[in-house]
Amino acid sequence: MFDVMIAGGGPTGLMLAAELRLHDVDVLVLEKEAEAAPYVRSLGLHVRSIEVMDQRGLLERFLALGTKHPISGFFAGITRPAPELDSAHAYVLGIPQTETDRLLAEHATELGAEVRRGCELVGLSQDDDGVSAELADGTRLRSRYLVGCDGGRSTVRKLLGVGFPGEPARAETLLGEMGATLPLEEVVAVVARVRETEKRFGLGPLGDGVYRVVVPADGVSEGRAAPPTLDEFKRQLHAYAGTDFGVHSPRWLSRFGDATRQAERYRVGRVLLAGDAAHIHPPMGGQGLNLGIQDAFNLGWKLAAEIGGWAPEGLLDSYESERHPVAAAVLDNTRAQAELMSTEPGAQAVRGLLTELMDFDQVNRYLVEKLVAIGIRYDVGGGHELLGRRMRDVGLKGGRLYALTRAGRGLLLDQTGRLSVAGWADRVDHVVDVSEELDVPAVLLRPDGHVAWVGDDQRDLLEHLPRWFGAAAG
């Protein structure tokens, strides 16, 4: 029997597998596709996901393959100067999802996770002791818990009977990678002209004359079930741009809709949902992959604590209570962006007003923080303004804060030198150091980097440690 089976070997599933392995949880990832997808659906990591990679010592791998871009024009395509953000990583990291998947797979397997490709889950049942999974080839497997990270059409979610309410797709978009004969400078000029009114349009160079092509599918007769054709791309490109750019030799072609849905529940007994299995939304702002990675970052240590036997009551359920509202807010901001990108006069009037408001730095920063997920505050109780927020990386006399978080444990950063985590030393690291950037005496961080306690009183600390890290060791 495995401790955890994960259905789905995309970014969410692989990140979750790695987080569980940091706590020696026996993990099996089941991915139905025999080979890694060759196409690129997501193009980058936002600030909070970049911080997550830094917290786990992965950032240098990503930086070596990515490109830093300023954070501008991400909210409904409204271009404004990048605001000043409270992060050491105030940029977008452009990196193809193919590379993100590969790096996360390497990380998970280096830590000891087992990834089996060509294994499609088709059935499951659960009892008080665990979950039984049936694969398409008839194989039956058993684990203590199972997590569905298997995408928007999640088999796990459907087998659980969990509702997925929301709105069906109203607009379809064609997406693909293909060559183009039109010179690059002409491509850039035409795309800039079209995007003045149609934000769901673009040709982005990938190198060697290959472009990532995005164009509305309005008027295309076939539904999403039918694979698109190169002729459809040519027809739509010509309709919107007056040219088909000489596109040819497609590497892959697809279509997607803008459906917006969220699972009613993230947990049913010993089975949980994360990533696109729990929420889908239009790609405005590039939030989907990032949201899934952050789901995994929140869930991993909590599920590991449950398996390890030290989780306090309600800890695993806090995954849903914390992440469900976050995803709901993302769905709302993508709904708002979709309206702002409409060419209808009313929507354009609202867009113009918001464009003016974003000249105010506070408004610009507020909207950008929504997209890059550094404005999130979990409900951990009232008190200091840091409580519930993720802790930014700060410089210490002995190095950097994030360098101390690689093991995925709790962390007490103590500038007083008077505090103690005796009884929790197997779950919480105690670091006595000082930072010119931190104006509180001490902070207790959860394994996901969110602040659980601020203060300098040992008795008060002892009241808060059990809430997140269980009872003291005997």
In tens, the pLDDT along 357-407 reads 999 999 999 999 999 999 999 999 889 999 999 999 999 999 999 999 999
pLDDT of residue 66: 94
8-state DSSP, 340: H
pTM of the model: 0.93
pLDDT of residue 254: 87
Residue 435 to residue 381: CA distance in whole angstroms: 25
* Residue 383 included in any domain: no
Count structural domains, the chain: 3
Q: Residue 122's domain is classified under what CATH number?
A: 3.50.50.60
pLDDT of residue 76: 85
pLDDT of residue 223: 55
Task: Give the whole-number percent of the chain exceeding pLDDT 90.
Answer: 81
* Residue 219 included in any domain: yes
What average pLDDT does the segment 231-246 reach? 95
Closest CA to 112 of 5, 32, 18, 14: 18
β strands within 326-441, DSSP E: 395-396, 399-400, 410-414, 428-432
pLDDT interval class at 166 (50, 70, 90): very high
Residues 265, 346 within the same domain: yes
pLDDT of residue 396: 97
Over 60: is that where the pLDDT of 221 sits? no
Highest mean pLDDT among 163-177, 283-297, 427-441: 427-441
pLDDT interval class at 197 (50, 70, 90): confident
* Residue 321 included in any domain: yes
Over 90: is that where the pLDDT of 328 sits? yes
Residues 235, 273 within the same domain: no
Residues 112, 222 within the same domain: no
**CA angle at 317 for the pair 312 and 320, rounded to the nearest 5°:** 145
pLDDT of residue 322: 98
Residues 271, 123 within the same domain: yes
- Retrieve residue 353's tokens: 């007003």
pLDDT interval class at 255 (50, 70, 90): confident
pLDDT of residue 196: 84
pLDDT of residue 92: 93
Q: Residue 214's domain is classified under what CATH number?
A: 3.30.70.2450
Residue 170 to residue 84: CA distance in whole angstroms: 35
Residues 237, 187 within the same domain: yes
Residues 270, 343 within the same domain: yes
pLDDT of residue 127: 96
pLDDT, one tens digit per residue, over 258-291 is 899 999 999 999 999 999 999 999 887 788 899 9
Residues 11, 124 within the same domain: yes
Distances in whole angstroms, Cα of residue 376 to Cα of each of 234, 239, 386, 391: 42, 41, 11, 11
Residues 44, 152 within the same domain: yes
Over 90: is that where the pLDDT of 344 sits? no
Residues 270, 145 within the same domain: yes
Over 70: is that where the pLDDT of 225 sits? no
Residue 375 to residue 85: CA distance in whole angstroms: 10
| Cβ atoms 262, 239 nearer than 8 A | no
* Residue 311 included in any domain: yes
- Retrieve residue 471's tokens: 């009872």
Dihedral of CA atoms 371, 375, 380, 382 in degrees, nearest 10, equals -150
Q: How many CB atoms lie within 10 A of CB 398?
A: 12
- Retrieve residue 250's tokens: 């497609």
Q: Residue 420's domain is classified under what CATH number?
A: 3.40.30.120
Residue 330 to residue 282: CA distance in whole angstroms: 10
What average pLDDT does the segment 174-189 reach? 94
DSSP-derived pairing of the beta strands 442-445 and 410-414: antiparallel
What average pLDDT does the segment 39-56 reach? 90
Residue 55 to residue 426: CA distance in whole angstroms: 19
* Residue 270 included in any domain: yes
Residue 408 to residue 27: CA distance in whole angstroms: 16
Q: Which residues contact 235 (CB under 8 A, 6 or more apart)?
A: 220, 244
Over 70: is that where the pLDDT of 224 sits? no
Average per-residue pLDDT for the chain: 93
| Cβ atoms 6, 21 nearer than 8 A | no
Closest CA to 169 of 327, 41, 332, 282: 282
Domain end (from 222, 257, 292): 257
pLDDT, one tens digit per residue, over 118-136 is 999 999 999 999 999 999 9
pLDDT interval class at 71 (50, 70, 90): confident
pLDDT of residue 129: 95
Over 80: is that where the pLDDT of 173 sits? yes
Instruction: Tell me the residue type at 137.
Output: D
Q: Which helix (H) or strand (E) holds 145?
A: strand 140-148
β strands within 149-232, DSSP E: 166-167, 172-180, 202-207, 210-216
CA atoms within 13 A on the CB side of 17: 33
Residues 139, 65 within the same domain: yes
The parent domain of residue 75 ranges over 2-166+261-372
Over 70: is that where the pLDDT of 44 sits? yes
* Residue 380 included in any domain: no
Domain end (from 372, 404, 430): 372
